Amino acid sequence: MRNIDIYDTTLRDGSQREGVSLSVSDKLKIAEKLDEFGLKYIEGGWPGSNPKDIEFFKRASKINFKNSRICAFSSTRRPGVAAEEDQNIKALVNSGTETVTIFGKSWDFHVRDALKTTLDENLAMIKDTISYLKSMGREVFFDAEHFFDGYKANTEYALDTLKAAAAGGADVLVLCDTNGGLMPWELPAILTAVKETANTSLGIHVHDDAGMATANSLLAVREGVTQVQGTINGYGERCGNANLCTIMPNLQLKMGYRVVSEEQMKSLTALSRFVAELANIAPADQQPYVGFNAFAHKGGVHVDAVSKKPETYEHALPELVGNKRRILVSELAGRSSISLKTSNNELKLNKGRPEIASVLQRIKEMEHYGYQFEGAEGSFELLILKMMKAYTPLFKLEGFRMIIEKREDGQLYSEATIKVRVGDEQVHTAAEGNGPVNALDNALRKALEGFYPAMKKIKLVDFKVRVIDGVDGTGAQVRVLIQSSDDHKTWGTVGVSPNIIEASWIALVDSLEYGLLCRKLPEFAEAKDVLEQLKGEGVTSLG
């Protein structure tokens, strides 16, 4: 099994995506996670461009990376300036990394119109810079910027830039599709010409402006490239860079190359979501391999087949990349969906039980009304319990009232007053909040935490509102999805109503009840009763 070197540039190229701003601390955390995953090269940034990257390299030098080499990035020397006198090159050397990456122009159009220098001077800039860095004992990669566009515009000159880099001693020549417009069928002939010109290891660095970055990267490996550059989740300027979260499993699981160990590959999904969290970007649910929906099944026929043989509708096992299979319950579901969904959620309900049909019918009615259980497993499991008459609610609502006031200073004031009954005891309380839903949440918790202390551990982490059908304007149905978590797990709940407060209330109550039921609190007598009843009904633990 041949090894392919993965070169990650999330910390530099990836951070050029709009909206991404990684602190030095963020970059160090990501670098340590990439090292743990087993990547060979991590590009930390351009030390000559900003103080943040200089600080990163200082702090990174004190970390003992076990698997990865930290790389510093820079341009060639400027026209008319010796490499050892160029400020960017000085900063690159001062970064102290064993490996450096230099980019230079390989498109004559850029040399003349962007650098404003001669073609010969550009070749000298490439060779001089690499020669100087090699004399300093560095491993040097040459990024041939705009190589494919340059090759198509002036083949001889583009190849001359590679010859200059090779003459300077470059360890790897990296062919860059900087504008991201290369088509896969163009690649083999170009790589053949490159291999006939330069007897040096080759790398590939492509952008995704035409949606071809993954295809071009994989095809380049088939054509003999040994280093693949890209970013986690495909982050990058414009349409992004080649997505390593797709490329790496394809190389290892589909093409027989080795990029990391099998155990390390199982943490790919966690790595993807870790980087997304620090970049403050919502993970792409439809992303291959690591996306939340990558192994999600909704249609009844699909679910039935997957429950028997996963390979019927899955091209790879989700466990190989640390993801998991999800069964979506909807109006398209069949009995197998209900059975498998409850099984996956550790709520066992056998496919042959008669309750399946009534649960399925109820779900279809609710989804016709506007409910969606795909991201609301908490509401789904509570629905199962309620339909089996195996669950007693935590409390009974006797009423609540909202006050929303816009004051003279322009501030909005929200207060909720609530009256609930727990057993034989009535509780009447009020609370403020920064909005009506927050006030309602605070009032409900204030009323119930004395009875259920573990409710303090349940936190609301996400709140989404969607208008289901806009034909009725402000009177349309709305769906509220709430995501909550405690110190054990995360779950979703849903509520639907023409009134946003009522929809929020439904989702909120489900969230708290489900969270307490999952914790199996000693003081939660109802949950204990439920679990005992379920043992005799063919349903087992909620986990």
Using CA atoms, how far residue 450 sits from 333, 387, 514, in Å, is 40, 29, 18
Say if residue 529's pLDDT is above 70: no
**CA distance linking residue 264 with residue 338, whole number of Å:** 33
**How far apart are the C-alpha atoms of 202 and 142, rounded to whole Å?**
10
pLDDT score at 299: 65
Q: In which residue ranges of the chain is CATH 3.20.20.70 found?
A: 5-279
CA separation for the pair 290, 296 (Å, rounded): 11
Residue where the block lists tokens 């090894």: 3
Can you spell out the DSSP letters for 238-273? TT-B-BHHHHHHIIIIIS--BSS-HHHHTTHHHHHH
Q: Which helix (H) or strand (E) holds 297?
A: strand 296-297
Question: Residue 59 and residue 55: Cα distance in Å, rounded?
Answer: 6
Domain with CATH 3.30.160.270 in the chain: 396-535
| CB-CB contact of 420 with 455 (8 Å) | no
Distance CA 114, CA 165 (A): 20
- Average per-residue pLDDT in the chain? 86
Kindly indicate the confidence band of residue 332, based on its pLDDT and cuts at 50, 70 and 90.
very low
pLDDT of residue 351 exceeding 60, the answer is no
Lowest mean pLDDT among 341-350, 381-390, 435-444, 526-535: 526-535
What is the Cβ-side half-sphere exposure of residue 30, based on CA atoms within 13 angstroms? 31
Is the pLDDT at 489 greater than 80? The verdict is no
Q: What is the DSSP letter of 361?
A: H
For residue 236, is pLDDT > 80?
A: yes
CA atoms within 13 A on the CB side of 442: 15
Higher pLDDT, 51 or 57: 57
* 187, 221 Cβ separation under 8 angstroms: no
Whether 363 has a pLDDT exceeding 80, the answer reads no
Return d(Cα 52, Cα 38) in angstroms, integer: 25
Q: Which residues pair with 141 in a beta bridge?
A: 101, 172
How large is the average pLDDT for residues 437-441? 90
Distance in angstroms (rounded) separating the CA atoms of residues 71 and 50 = 16
CB atoms within 10 A of CB 67: 15
What are the C-alpha distances in Å from 359 to residues 3, 22, 331, 420, 493? 51, 47, 11, 29, 17
Residue 520 scores a pLDDT above 50:
yes
Tokens of 395: 């409390």
DSSP letter at 374 equals T
Q: Does domain 5-279 have CATH number 3.20.20.70?
A: yes
CA 376 to each of CA 70, 95, 245, 484, 497: distance values in angstroms, whole numbers, following the listed order: 42, 49, 27, 10, 16
Q: How confident is the model at residue 479 (pLDDT cuts 50, 70, 90)?
A: confident
- According to the per-residue pLDDT averaged within each range, which of 204-218, 355-369, 466-480 is highest? 204-218
**Residue range 11-35: average pLDDT?**
92
Percent of the residues in the chain that have a pLDDT greater than 70, as a whole number: 86
The Cα–Cα gap between 520 and 512 comes to: 13
* pTM summary value: 0.69
221 neighbors 257 (Cβ within 8 angstroms): yes
| Three-class SS state of 367 | helix
The CATH number given to 396-535 is 3.30.160.270
